[in-house]
Structures are given as C-alpha cells and as structure tokens.
Structure 1
Amino acid sequence: MTIIVERRTLLAGAGAAAAALPFARAIAGTVPTMPSPRRITPIDDGWRFHLGHAADPAQDFGFGASHDTYAKSGDAGTPVATPKFDDSGWATVRLPHDWANALPYERFGPPGSEADKTGSYQGFKPVGRRFPANSVGWYRRRLDIPATEAGRRLRLEFDGATRDVMVILNGFFVGRSESGYAPFSVDITDFAVPGGDNILVVRCDVSLGEAWSYEGAGLYRHVRLVSSAPTHIRQWGVAVRSEVGAGRATIRIATELVNDGPAATVTLRSAVIGPDGRRLAEVVEQQVALPAWGGRTVDQVATVADPQLWSPETPHIHRLESAVIRDGMAVDADTTRFGIRTFRFDAKAGFFVNGKPVKIKGTCNHQDHAGVGFAVPDSLHRWRIEQLKAMGSNAYRSTHHPAPPAVLDACDELGILVLDETRQMSSNPEAMGQLERMIRRDRNRACVFLWSIGNEEVHRATATGAAIARTMKRRIYELDGTRPITEAFNGHFGEGASPVLDVMGFNYYLDGIDPFHAAHPDVPTIGTETASTVMTRGVYARDDKAQLVPAYDTDFPRWASTAARWWTLYDARPWLSGGFVWTGFDYKGEPTPYESWPSNASNFGQMDSCGFPKDNYYYYKAWWGAEPVLHLFPHWDWAGREGQPVDVWVHSNGEAVELFLNGRSLGTKTVERGRHLAWSVPYAPGRIEARSRHANGKRLVAVRETTGAPAAIRLSSDRRRLRPGEVAVIRAAIVDGKGREVPTAAKLIKFALTGPGRILGVGNGDPRSLEADEAEQRSTFNGLAMALVEAGPGGGALRLEAQASGLRSAMLPILTD
C-alpha cells in the first residue's frame, strides 16, 4: 500500500505562482526528469602515479620551489599541474592504491633501538619522516568534463586518502584534507572548464602519520566526480529516522536543500521503498521557497504499515528516494539506504534490538589485508565481513577511524552491528569537521548503533577530556541524536570524560569493571576492546628467537586477557552489553610481543592477515554461533617428539567430547560453557580423533593425522564466478600423496594468471615475512599461501596456475561475467 501525503507550504515571498505545479502530476510519478539529474562518475581508472620527495622541492616536481606563498592563486608552483607536463613515464594505477604496500621492507634502526621499535609498529615500510623520498605521492589524470556540465555544480568526492592531501585542478589549489580516514569533498565548479582540457593533480604526504600501526599511503579509497543542478540536495543532506509502534513505523525525514543561484521555488518528493522494491509511502512538500545562494531544511513524515524490521537476523534494508522538482522537471535526485529498527541500552539488562536482548559479539578491525595493504577492494571488504559473521560475530568496530563505505554496506546487508569511531578526540575545527563528516555520512546506516568519540586518549580522565567530550556529544546530538555515545577507556573508569558518555566503554582491565558497575549502576556499559590474545597461526610453542607465539589461548599482554577469561566474565553479566575482541584479523604493524625486525604484523587476530582462521576462531564460533562446533588441535606432525607430551585442545559447544589416539580412548570430558577441553597426550604418529555429543543429538568427529611428504598444491576459492572488479580469495595448500594438508610445509609457490584479470597480491599470514605482497609468488607458511585474483572488464574465463619445485602443480578455473 502506498500512503501519499500532500503538504502545501506557502512561505514568505512565495505567492500564487509558487503553486503552479499540479499536485496530481507530482504524486502520479509522471513528473518528467532531465537525463540523470545527478550524474556520478567514478574516477578510479586512468591515474598516473609517481613518488615525490617530502624534503627536497627539486625532487618533488618543484613543489614549493618557485614561490614561498600562495600569492598567485592559479599557480600551484609545480609543472605537474600544467597541461603540457609529460607524465608518460609515470606508473599507471587504478584505485584503490597504496604505494607503501609496494615498497620493500626496511629496517629503521639498529637492533633494540627506539627506531627499530618504531619501524615494527609501522610494519617496517619505509615511509614517514625518516624516509622523505618515499613519503610524497603524486597522482595525475585528465578529467573528462563534458561541455554539457556548464552551469552545473561539480564536486570531487574522496572516500578517504592518506594523509595530508592537496587537490589541484587546472593549476588552482581547490581543497585539502588532513585526515587519512575521514571522507571529504571538494567543490570544483569555479575551476573546471567544461569541454576543455582539465588536469587533476592530487598530492599525498604521509610524512606525519595518524596511527601507531601501518596505515598505507595514497588514494586507497574511491574517488568520484559528482555533477548536480544548482538546486540540489546537499551531500549527506538527508536524515531518515524511524519510530516503531504497534503495526506501523513513522518515518521522519529531514532534507537539506541547497540553492546555488537566484531564488527558487521547488517541490520535494520523498518515497519510501521497501526491501522487496515496493513503494510503501510517499510524501510531497510543495512550494518550498529557497533564497538566492542559500538553503533550507525540509521536514517530512511518512507512515509504513507492518514494516519489515532490520536486525542481525533479518537485515532488511529500505530506501528513501528523494527528488527535487522545479518548473515541472526533476532537477536532482538522491537515494538513501536505511533500516527500520530500534536500539536501546539498559544499565541492568544490556543491549536491545527491536525490544529483544542482543549480546554484542564483536571484533575490532584495521583496514589492511595481505596482498593489498590499505587498498582493499570492495568485494574483499565484504569477504572479510562474511568470515567474521561465519565465526559468530554480530558486531564490528572500526579502529580507530571511520570505516570504508564498502564495510558499512556489507554490515547493513549481512546484519552486522557497527560501532562507528572518529579518529581525533578533540574539539578543534579539524577534528570537529572530521566528526561531522562521519556522522553525516553514516547517520542513516541501519547497522550503526553506537558512536565512539575516542580511543585510549591521554586526556580521557581529565577535566579537559570532559569538556571536549561535551562539545563532541553536543554536535553529534545536533546531527543525529538517535544513537548513544561512548569512548574507549583503558583504565581510569569513571573519571574525566566518563560521566559525559551515554555508554561506558571498557578497554581491558577486567578487574575494574565490577567496581565501576557497583559505583555507577545506572550507566550502560560495553567492552570496546577486549582479549588481545597473541597467536601465530599453526604454531604451538613459544619461540622468542624465531618471534613466534603459540596458537593456544594462553599468551597476552599485561593489560589484556585470554578469550575464555573475558568472554566468560562478560557472558555472565547481563548488564554488560557484550564486547569487541582485539582483533578479527591480523594487521600490519604493532607486532606484539615482538617489537623488532623482522616482525612486521600483529598476532592479535582470530584470523591471520590472509583471512586463514587460527584456532581461537573456533572458540568464538563455538560460543557465539548457533551451530554445533568441534575443533581439534594442534596438528599431528611431531617427528622427533615421539613419547613426549603434546597439549591437545578442543573447542566445542557440545555436552561432552571423547578423545582417541590411534583408536584408543583417552577419556571423555564434559564441556563447560565458555571453556576449552585439554589433554596431555604422549606423541605417537598416526591419528588423533575427537568425538563430540550435542544436546540436539548431533554427533561430530574431528581428526588430525600424521601426514607424508609434500607432494602437490591444492587450490580452492571462496567463489568461482566473478563480476568485473570483484576479487576471489584463492587458498593454496600443500598436500601429501593422500591429499592431506601438510601443516608444516614451507614451499615457494609461483602463481600465474591467464585471461581477463590480474593478480592483485599474495600473502601467507607469516607475521615475520619480508616477501613482497605485490608479487606473483609467495612461500607457504605452515602449509598455506593466498592469492587475490581480480576480474577485469568484460567476460571470459580466468585460469590460475600454481607451481612449486618438486610438487605437482595445480590449476583453478574462474568464470567472469
């Protein structure tokens, strides 16, 4: 059923002529439209790239050398910005692009030095002040702006770029961004030459970073050109709010209209489209008077009967289609995705979605992935979210910055709740601008349930921190007001900014949580960062010389805990809303506990940097998911340790598990909620087997066998059919003559792709590996390696081949649409 609401608004200065548009014509959906009233052109292709030099203008394409001021606005001070500049010798790149990922690893200083530690935290990629020759990147391209764009408003939208970014068009400085993570846009209307030769140049300077881990370099997210009529809807100018009642939902819409021209009178038409594509409601606001070179916010209300609610189990997405109509023509249009749902925190009972209690089972995640660094394609972002959901996770924290749009798209569609976090906890203009852009961009997201204004800030427990938090909170409420606000505190719970927060965020320090709740029983709480167990995939003994930690749930920094300790504590307290594990995936940099060469990646992930699960992945799958789980580890290849004890663990959510060695029972153990089972087993080659019994009668069997010598490569993919631009994650495993994966194999695999596509990069999950990611060969680590294959334009068949010395090769066909 479509509900149509008519509203005629006669404002001061709007006479009878303002009512000339027939209302019936508007609601019938027959209002004529100009071709593509808003034109969005992706500009990910066609870029040329070259490194500059942060400290030497002569090597930085003359930037800043010709003059020391901006006295002449149309002279950027570099020949790169001129049409005659020859960039044919520059590299051709496609966005997303991360030039730091392609740099070789380099040691920052001698062993044990502060520089060596700093290098490890930056993933030993030679960018920053120590490496000025690698810390400036120049991007250049011709920008096609047809003559038909004359008289329209033009802007460039950047989803994110690291870090100090300067945008130059036709020799003019047109914009700058100081954040590597916040989206930003640049109005180029006055500087563009429709129908002419437009030269777009972007200079990225990463001399000064923002994080204490690897953060890439360059245009690592998408860029687009947006053309709109002078009268249009502001970027992120639509706010949609839903109020759910008995059998219906009230949809409140606020639309910011901009008029870059003479005074005008327009009609705003807003239509609610259901998840199945049906038009559910429509509201038309007529005779909206807009002042010359000004704007106005229009408030509208629609009603949807029997709404399909968004939840982690039923992620129903609605759309709001907005059209601005002037003189009988639709001059601008915008689409906003949103969800109809309710969120609520209760200080005693936890978190609720649509009135039902939901325990947050989340992970914190950085941006990067093996093979591509920060330049993660959209489909790979989605693949990563899918792996987290398969683990049983229902929530995602973007750490410590706004998430990429592709992550939020995937979370909207897959039912993953998002704690959205800004990068700077400050009330200075730059930080407030970053905060506002994040809130405006993400405030309609169905998945976003909580805003975070900071993480482990040094001023968190001070009066200054409280003042800053109040200012940030006030602005968030002005822009949104439908979600609560938190901050991630590592200690000092209850001090400084704590009373300002709507939800108290705990980072670790489990012993301080109960005392806080006792002192503040009316304050909702959540674990913003928890666990931090360090684990290297496939390793089962600590080896400090080799810089490896065991994959058992045993090792953690002094401030943290095991998975079992934090989760059993949180699980047992209804007033704790749940928490976010540090981290879902390994990431480059911050290589705890080894802060020196060659360790260049963290060990915190439940998956390694390729997305291969570690053993703790199955701990969470057992206690977070709904399906029966039985996971047995370690592997059973321990030549030379015959008769010596091996710690055997099982993660299971069954009632009991029985363990067998070569057919002999080693006993049955009862499963305790939130705990693992363990046996000490003298090693004997052969077969170790676990059998679990579950409450629903389900019985599972897990087996580990002693394998033979490496004999072949086996390839598998998460998908075998790709659309243009989609990425397949290829798993390469070394197997023995019986097809069993050899868990200790180390072989150099060479990949080769034929067909319309490319290998984006490779990886193996080894946190110490110094091999190139942007390559077509990689050594396996504990038997595994990975290749990322991207489909090119057009259709056809791809074929990936993998070869290694002394092994049978493998071939994997992939179809492209």
Structure 2
Amino acid sequence: MIRTSFNDGWQVRPKVNPFSELSGQAVPFIPVTLPHDAMIGQPRTAPGGDVTLDRAAGAYFPGGVFEYRKVFAVPEEYRGKRVFLEFEGVHRDATVYINGDYAGQRPYGYSHFHIDADRFLRFGQDNEIRVEARAHRDSRWYTGAGIYRDTWLLVGEAVRIVPDGLRVTTPDIDGSRAVVEVVTLVANDSIEVRTFPVVTEIRDASGGVVASDVSRVTVLPGEPATVRQRLYVPSPGLWSPETPTLYSCRVVLGDVDEETVSFGIRSLQLDPEHGLRINGETVKLRGSCVHHDNGVLGAATYGRAEERRVRILKEAGFNAIRSSHQPMSKPMLDACDRLGMLVVDETFDVWTIGKSEFDYSLSFPEWWERDVEAMVAKDVNHPSVIMYSIGNEIPETGSPFGAVWGRRLAEKVRSLDPTRYVTNAVNGMLAVMSELAVLQQQWLEQAAKDGVGINTLMAEADDAMNTVSSSELVTERTAESFAVLDVAGMNYAEGRYALDRDLFPNRIILGTETFPTHIDGNWELVKQYGHVIGDFTWTGWDYLGEVGIGRPQYRTEGDGPLQPHNAPYPYLVADCGDIDITGYRRPASYYREIVLGLRAEPYIAVRRPEHHGRIWAGSPWAWSHTVSSWTWPGYDGKPITVEVYSDAHEVELIGNGTSLGRRPVGPKHRFRTEFDIVHTPGELVAVAYRDGVETSRTSLRSADGPVRLTAKAEREVVGATGGDLAYVTLNLTDGQGTRHTAADRPVRVEVSGAAELIGFGSAAPSTEERFDAAERHTYEGRALAVLRPTGVGKISLIASAPGCDPVAVVVTAE
C-alpha cells in the first residue's frame, strides 16, 4: 500500500459538551502538527494539602479529554481502493470519527492500530476526521495525552499486502549462508479469484541484491493467503550491538502492491550455563529501563528524539533498553536497529488488577490479545528485539489465576513469534502483598531471637524488597508464574540470584529492574553466574512524573518519619536517571561506566556543600547529591566532600598542585572513595594508581571571570521532513569554556526561519516553568532548546541572558 504521512493539518482543543457549545460556550481549535502532546502545555497545579499519589504520578499535570480534527481531500481516484488510517499511538481511549460517523477505537494508549476508512469517505471532496483522547489518573507516570505518535494514510488496491503483513526471520545461520524466511500475507477484498507473481529481493546495506525468489499466489475473495519463501544469503553479515548490519527485503505483488522492510541476520540462544548468546557469543545485558516521554517535548514521539536517546544511552555504556512499561515506539526500534541496541519490549503495567483508578485493567480482558498482536507485528522484523515482556510488577503473579493469565499471554506471544524469548518483570513483594502480615510476624519473631527490632531489620526499602522476594512464600507463590517464561524477570530481587541456582537449576534470570545504587554488587552477580543474563537499572534516562522518587533527602536526629515516596508540587521529574531529561549524563552514569569496565579514567563528583554534615536519607533510587563541578561561590574555606569513582587500586586527590591524600578504591571499596576537604577555587585533580603506578587522571577547574552564554547545535544540518529536529544546548561558562554551575539565570530564545520552537527547558527537578515558553532558567548552567523544521531553509536561534552578550546559532534544514 502507498504510505503517506498524515501528520499535517490537524487542530486540537479540549473536548466540549455539544450542548454547551450550542449555548455559545465554544472552545476554539488551535492548529498543530503531529506528533503532539496535548497535556504538556496544560497548566500544572498543586493538589492542596498532602501529596496525592495520582497527581504526583502525572507530575501534577491535569487530566483531560482532547479532540483533534483534520479536514483532508479524498480524490475521486481513491474510489474502489482500500484506504486505511494508521495511528502509531494515541493516549488514551482513542475514538475515531470520520465525517461524523464512528469508525473505530483503541483503549490502550501504546498500541498502533488501523482504521478501515474507505467506507466512510466522500470521494472527490473534503472529508473530516475527528479523534478523541482521554487521559485521567490512568497510569503511574506522566503519559501525555492525544495523538502523540505518527499517523499515516495507507491507500491500496483490493488485492494487496496487508499492513504489517511482511515478516522476515532468520531461522538457520552458519558461517557460509543464512536461511531467510519471508512470510507475506495477501488480502483480497474483491469478488474475483486473483493470481499474481510474488517477486522477493534481499539487498545488503550497499543496495546490492544478495538473494531473490519468484513465486505465485492465488488469493480467494475474502480469504487471505500466506506466501512463504525461503531465501539463502551467502556469507551473511551478522547483526549485533557491535556490528548492527542491516539488510532490506522487498516483496512485489504483481503490478498491484509492494512492501519493503529492513531486518538483521542474527541468532539467539539461551541456557543456564552460557546465558544469552547472540551469534554464538555470550552477551551480558547492560540494561536501561526507559519511559516513553521525551523530556522537554513531553510524550511527543519524534524520530530524531528517539534516536538521540538511543545514541546517548549507548555512549553511556548501555547495550540494552527495556521499554517501561509499554510497547516501544517504531522510531525508537528503528534507531535501536541502526545503532546496535538490544531491546526488551514490554506489553503492560497492569492485567486484571488496577494500579490507578482508570487504568488499562478496565479494558485488559477484552483487548489484551489485540494489543499483544499489535506489539509483535510492530517488533517482528527488528533484530534489536530479543525478548518480549508480558508485564511489569503484576500483582496477580503470586496467585494460581495470575499464573493462568501469564501462560495465556506467554503462549499468545509464542504463537505470533516463536523466534524470541518471553519474560515478565515480577516484583516478589507485590506478588504476595496480601500475605505480608504473615511474613512480618515471622520477621518479628526472628528479630526478637536476634536481639534487634523490626525497624532495624527492615530499615531500607531495598532490604525489604530483597528480604520478601527471597522468602519461601515468594518462592512458592511465584513458581508457576516464572515457569511459564523463558526468562524469569525479577524486579529488586538480586537476593534470589544465587538462591535460585540451587532451587531452580533450569531458571534463567534477568534483573528487569534494579536500584541504581546497587549496580556494583549486581554486576558482580551478573558476571559470576551464567544463569543471570543482565541488569536493567531504574532508570537510565530520567522521566516526567512519579516525581521525586530519587530526590535527595536529608534528616537530623529526632526527625519523624521520612517524607512521602513522591515529592510535593512543583516537583516535575522522578530524579532517578543516570541521564537527565535533557540528555546530560549525571555522576551515576560515569560510576556505572566504571563498574561495567568501560571507563579507565577516574571521575570526580562533588557533594553540594550547603548540605555538608547532614544525614543522608535518600531512597535507594537516589544517587548522592553531587555535581561534577569545582565552582562553589560563597563556600571558599568551608568543608566540602569530594567523591572519586575508579576501578584502580588507589586514587590521589590534588588541589592546586598540593596532594590532599591518597585512598584505596576499586571493587573492594565499591569503586568509590571520599575526601573531606576545604573548598579552595582552582584546579582539582584525581590520579588513579594500579600497583603504585599512575594509570590515568582527570580534573575539574573552577569557573572564573565573567559569565558567558554559549549556544551550540548538535548538528549544523537537519532534515526538513521525516521527524527530524534541531537540538541546541545553551551553557553558561567562563572565558575558557568551564561551565558556571552556580550562576543560573533566565535565558530567552528567539527562533526565526524554517523552524519553530517546540520545547525549551532544563533538567531542574522542581520548577513551575513551562516547556512551551520562550524563556527558561538554566539548571547547573545548562538549558536545552528543541526546534522542529517547517520547511527547507536556514534556521536561526538567538539566545540572551542577563549580564551576557547574546549568541546566535544557524542550522540548515534540507
């Protein structure tokens, strides 16, 4: 079918009651270009009183019902053809009307779906489509709202290759050739029996044909036909994270239709001794959980934004992404294929038991099969996808009926795609939540015998989760739910890794969600045990909503209970990512890189001196309250703590040429050490030693002199179409380029030429500023502007800030 972007020419407004509109209370439509997040521009409000979970989950953005409309011409020559509209994602409870008539719906906000449109169309004239979307207390994170992913118009003949109907797999590979199986589904909506030749070509990255086949297919009216062809690629280039080699497969159906997809040739193997093998080589998953939002863009899914996230995550040392907790977007899958990032794609956060008042559990029993089918259809040609997750922290997994549901989902996935593995991210504590009272009594009795109190025994959330997850109760209650899987996904349950090697010798484990503060111990277990295939941190990239779970917290002696799990308004982000919402790597990211053996140089992180001496009380998702900066005006001569991360035997800290001490570091010391010193501006150097010999060094320098505003575009040339974006980073620096982390101020931007400003913000965890404004304060000396090209030509951005000379950046869209 001919696929054309359907993103232009839309309008949106809050949904209004038609009777109210008749009485004159009309709400005007405003023009938008898709993808579009209708929620990110809504005013955030404080809930009043205590933090409420539903409001904090959504970053204090309001819910709402939003109505999109588009008027589009349908030419007369479309008469007699099949016309479909494809939506890659609408959040949530999408309902589609064409020329006033109900045309279809999709409750789940993360499934792509098709609307059979031609029966509603008026040929040779303008037509109107309206789409309603609702988002209201339906998730545990910021979801956004509206048509936040791409849309497409598909036009084809009555006999055609169905959408998502071309599937390519590589079931048999050796050094001399690869078997490529091409399955094409052909539909016939005419009243005639039709027979066509089917020509299939496989091309390599240079465009050369490496395999081809010609077949024939007869298609009966109303009865789809499956064409199955086996082709043989000689001396195949194998896809892997290190060498992401891609091929294309083009299928031509007579003179009526054609379809092309990209794919990779690679093999997967799994066993408790060797773990996960890709092309025969054991691969340990260095994983990042990610939510679907794009920071300053909200939930809007642009191809360039998705590719940028994948690129930065890979540069930070990750080789795998778990899409949490919903199917990954098509542009991100494409980026993972191109850049060599492995994917665990996840279906749902809920099954039959809800976690929010109006979540997908209300629709799950009726829609789960169609949504699983949509995810697999989207993923099946992507070599980056190695595993499907059928859920996340599903409470039902601790019950027999939950195990039945798990088996249904797992077998459904296998029936659609037997070439990949199935997991489920199980939280043992949640699976036995209703029976925790029994466990608590057992712990109290044991604590009394040991002479300690229950508060001491269960002082930390991470200890609590591991203690519960390692209990006999969880072992028994989750046994069947794990047995239906290929890989036992475990959230916050590293205590089971060694235990299950003996209890369940055939069980293969993946740490599907782990605390970032545990990576050193977790990675040692991953390396030690063959049946443990990887670790996915919560989280690799910070996200909107679930606000403040990783925020810094302090307490003093005599304080009452800790603050709530979530932070009060105006907190905006979870504040627990290795990488912040603008794509900037935080200290935890460099620590992880060192633990994973990917960085030789030490790394210096400095604790904020205003909190020196206070008792740390952050959650296990919270990294130390550090910044990689030696610029602390107002704290000269005052105490300050410097953290140094390294895999060396020792590190020496040198301030302005004077040694400030030498301390052991490396694996035996959790790859980190601390120096309590007095802040003196200048240069701070960390030197790493192994067996007494210097191996590497790194340094920080204080910003000095007047503050300068700088602007730098990530790319000087961007595409004028196709979801490309221009990212411009704004920094406050001194004359030598050292960032002024303590000189934050408002920055205003003006954009002219062939682009519009679609997002402007910083990584500030708590703020009332908006992403759709032209002025934002920097955070730790940084801000990020994102521009969407509107055509071919020059794009100009001029930025200004108090006390700084204006700066300009020019980008070309072509």
The answer (yes or no) to whether the contact 1:505–1:526 under 8 Å persists in 2 is: yes
In the alignment, which residue of structure 1 is the partner of 2:58?
122
CA drift of 1:206 comes to 1.9
Amino acid at match of 2:804: L
The answer (yes or no) to whether the contact 2:646–2:666 under 8 Å persists in 1 is: no
In the alignment, which residue of structure 2 is the partner of 1:51?
14
In the alignment, which residue of structure 1 is the partner of 2:398?
461
CA drift of 1:754 comes to 2.2
Amino acid at match of 1:302: L
Distance of 1:456 and 1:630 partners within structure 2:
36
Which secondary structure does the structure 2 equivalent of 1:406 belong to? helix
CA drift of 1:514 comes to 1.9
Structure 1 residues 178-234: Cα deviation after superposition (integer angstroms, max 9, x where no partner): 01101111111211122222111111122352x201100100000111011111112
The answer (yes or no) to whether the contact 1:40–1:227 under 8 Å persists in 2 is: yes
In the alignment, which residue of structure 2 is the partner of 1:791?
789
The answer (yes or no) to whether the contact 1:469–1:500 under 8 Å persists in 2 is: yes
CA drift of 1:522 comes to 1.0
CA drift of 1:509 comes to 2.4
Amino acid at match of 2:44: Y
In the alignment, which residue of structure 2 is the partner of 1:514?
498
Distance of 1:738 and 1:299 partners within structure 2:
63
Distance of 1:264 and 1:694 partners within structure 2:
74
Which secondary structure does the structure 1 equivalent of 2:55 belong to? helix
The answer (yes or no) to whether the contact 2:337–2:383 under 8 Å persists in 1 is: yes
Match of 2:150 among 209, 222, 237: 222
In the alignment, which residue of structure 2 is the partner of 1:681?
677
CA drift of 1:564 comes to 2.6
In the alignment, which residue of structure 2 is the partner of 1:17?
none
In the alignment, which residue of structure 1 is the partner of 2:320?
395
In the alignment, which residue of structure 2 is the partner of 1:734?
732
Match of 2:100 among 148, 171, 177: 171
The answer (yes or no) to whether the contact 1:392–1:625 under 8 Å persists in 2 is: no
Structure 1 residues 652-705: Cα deviation after superposition (integer angstroms, max 9, x where no partner): 34565332011112344455246223322232332211234689x995442223
CA drift of 1:51 comes to 1.0
CA drift of 1:278 comes to 1.1
Aligned CA RMSD, in angstroms, stands at 2.3
Which secondary structure does the structure 1 equivalent of 2:224 belong to? strand
Task: Normalising by structure 2, report the TM-score.
Answer: 0.84
In the alignment, which residue of structure 2 is the partner of 1:429?
366
In the alignment, which residue of structure 2 is the partner of 1:804?
801
In the alignment, which residue of structure 1 is the partner of 2:656?
662
The answer (yes or no) to whether the contact 2:762–2:784 under 8 Å persists in 1 is: yes
Which secondary structure does the structure 2 equivalent of 1:790 belong to? strand
In the alignment, which residue of structure 2 is the partner of 1:348?
273
Match of 2:602 among 621, 630, 645: 630
Match of 1:236 among 152, 164, 167: 164
Amino acid at match of 1:508: Y
Which secondary structure does the structure 2 equivalent of 1:679 belong to? strand
Answer with 569-578 or 342-351: which moved more.
Answer: 569-578
In the alignment, which residue of structure 2 is the partner of 1:102?
41
The answer (yes or no) to whether the contact 1:253–1:300 under 8 Å persists in 2 is: yes
1:282 aligns with 2:282: no
Query: Using a 3 Å threshold, how does the CA distance of structure 1 residues 806 and 638 change in structure 2: closer, same or farther?
Result: closer
The answer (yes or no) to whether the contact 1:179–1:434 under 8 Å persists in 2 is: yes
Query: Using a 3 Å threshold, how does the CA distance of structure 1 residues 471 and 738 change in structure 2: closer, same or farther?
Result: closer
CA drift of 1:626 comes to 4.2
Query: Using a 3 Å threshold, how does the CA distance of structure 1 residues 698 and 203 change in structure 2: closer, same or farther?
Result: farther
Q: Percent of pairs identical after alignment?
A: 29
Which secondary structure does the structure 2 equivalent of 1:105 belong to? coil
Which secondary structure does the structure 1 equivalent of 2:168 belong to? strand
Aligned length: 710
CA drift of 1:571 comes to 3.2
In the alignment, which residue of structure 1 is the partner of 2:90?
161
Answer with 467-476 or 200-209: which moved more.
Answer: 200-209
CA drift of 1:49 comes to 1.1
CA drift of 1:57 comes to 4.8
Distance of 1:373 and 1:413 partners within structure 2:
24
1:292 aligns with 2:255: no
Structure 1 residues 499-531: Cα deviation after superposition (integer angstroms, max 9, x where no partner): 111100011122233212321111111111112
Amino acid at match of 2:143: E
1:650 aligns with 2:644: yes
Distance of 1:404 and 1:609 partners within structure 2:
18
The answer (yes or no) to whether the contact 2:709–2:804 under 8 Å persists in 1 is: yes
The answer (yes or no) to whether the contact 2:497–2:532 under 8 Å persists in 1 is: no
Distance of 1:668 and 1:277 partners within structure 2:
57
Distance of 2:706 and 2:777 partners within structure 1:
14
In the alignment, which residue of structure 1 is the partner of 2:552?
none
Query: Using a 3 Å threshold, how does the CA distance of structure 1 residues 564 and 107 change in structure 2: closer, same or farther?
Result: same
The answer (yes or no) to whether the contact 1:310–1:317 under 8 Å persists in 2 is: yes
**Pairing 1:74-113 to 2, within 5 Å after superposition:** 89-108=28-47, 110-112=48-50
CA drift of 1:575 comes to 2.4
Which secondary structure does the structure 2 equivalent of 1:266 belong to? strand
The answer (yes or no) to whether the contact 1:462–1:495 under 8 Å persists in 2 is: no
1:442 aligns with 2:379: yes
Distance of 1:448 and 1:442 partners within structure 2:
7
Answer with 737-746 or 375-384: which moved more.
Answer: 737-746
CA drift of 1:451 comes to 0.5
In the alignment, which residue of structure 1 is the partner of 2:709?
713
Answer with 582-591 or 680-689: which moved more.
Answer: 680-689
CA drift of 1:724 comes to 0.8
CA drift of 1:388 comes to 0.2
Distance of 1:385 and 1:371 partners within structure 2:
16
Task: Select the structure that is richer in helix.
Answer: 2
Query: Using a 3 Å threshold, how does the CA distance of structure 1 residues 273 and 625 change in structure 2: closer, same or farther?
Result: farther
Distance of 2:45 and 2:483 partners within structure 1:
45
The answer (yes or no) to whether the contact 1:731–1:787 under 8 Å persists in 2 is: yes
In the alignment, which residue of structure 1 is the partner of 2:437?
none
The answer (yes or no) to whether the contact 1:621–1:629 under 8 Å persists in 2 is: no
The answer (yes or no) to whether the contact 1:391–1:625 under 8 Å persists in 2 is: no
1:611 aligns with 2:550: no
Q: Which runs of 5+ in 2 are unaligned?
A: 353-363, 429-473, 550-564, 607-628
In the alignment, which residue of structure 1 is the partner of 2:263?
338
Amino acid at match of 1:182: S
The answer (yes or no) to whether the contact 2:520–2:595 under 8 Å persists in 1 is: no
Which secondary structure does the structure 1 equivalent of 2:308 belong to? helix
Distance of 2:310 and 2:72 partners within structure 1:
34
In the alignment, which residue of structure 2 is the partner of 1:24?
none
Distance of 1:569 and 1:156 partners within structure 2:
48
**Pairing 1:396-545 to 2, within 5 Å after superposition:** 396-423=321-348, 424-425=350-351, 428-491=365-428, 492=474, 494-531=478-515, 533=516
Query: Using a 3 Å threshold, how does the CA distance of structure 1 residues 165 and 698 change in structure 2: closer, same or farther?
Result: farther
Structure 1 residues 265-287: Cα deviation after superposition (integer angstroms, max 9, x where no partner): 2222221112221111112212x
Distance of 1:640 and 1:711 partners within structure 2:
16
Structure 1 residues 616-646: Cα deviation after superposition (integer angstroms, max 9, x where no partner): 1112233446453332122223445455442
Match of 1:321 among 232, 246, 250: 250
Amino acid at match of 1:267: P
Distance of 1:96 and 1:260 partners within structure 2:
32
Which secondary structure does the structure 1 equivalent of 2:542 belong to? coil
Amino acid at match of 2:237: Q
Match of 1:273 among 203, 210, 234: 203
Query: Using a 3 Å threshold, how does the CA distance of structure 1 residues 700 and 672 change in structure 2: closer, same or farther?
Result: closer
In the alignment, which residue of structure 2 is the partner of 1:41?
4
In the alignment, which residue of structure 2 is the partner of 1:567?
523
Distance of 2:540 and 2:117 partners within structure 1:
40
Amino acid at match of 1:438: M
Distance of 1:436 and 1:698 partners within structure 2:
56
The answer (yes or no) to whether the contact 1:365–1:397 under 8 Å persists in 2 is: yes
1:377 aligns with 2:373: no
